[in-house]
Every structure is written in structure tokens, then in C-alpha cells.
Amino acid sequence: MNAHCERIIGSIRREALDHVLIMNEAHARHLLAAYERHYNEHRPHQARNQLPPDVHEQPALGLSTGKVLRTRIPGGLINEYRYAA
């Protein structure tokens, strides 16, 4: 179990906390909550065939030529991309 904990703590540190100056506990909680949403809803996971943990169905495998939208979370630290409807 220790290896799993070290892996997620390292991911949080490298992808979020190393790039932001934490001002107080509320700011840290807000940043970690935003990263948690990103990690569970959008970030691809190799062990799940590039699907996020909260997605239970396989996405359509067609190439879309539509417009791509970018969402910047928390304050531009991480970018999430999705096709516009």
C-alpha cells in the first residue's frame, strides 16, 4: 500500500503543488479539490486504457474534426481539452 500512496503523492506534488505558492489552508484545500476533480474525471490513466476513473463506458473511437475547447484549471496550472458539441 505504501507504493500506491507514494505514487499519488508524487503525482500531486509534480503536477500541482510544485507550480503554486500555497497561501493558506483554504487555498491548499481548493487547489487539491480542483486537482482531485481533474484526476478522477479527465486525466487519462494507462491502467484503464486511457480512461479516467469516473468514466465507465468506452468513448467513441471516431476522429472528430470539430472545434476543441480548452478548460484551464486551477488558474491555468492544468489544461483539459474536449471537443465542442
pLDDT single digits (tens) 23-62: 999 999 999 998 888 888 777 776 667 677 776 665 555 5
Residue 73 in this model has a pLDDT that exceeds 90? no
- Give yes or no for a contact between 35 and 78, defined as CB atoms under 8 angstroms apart: yes
Helices 2-15, 25-41: crossing angle, 10 deg rounding? 110
Say what the pTM is. Answer: 0.63
Cα end-to-end span (Å), the chain: 41
* Domain parsing of the chain, residue ranges: 2-83
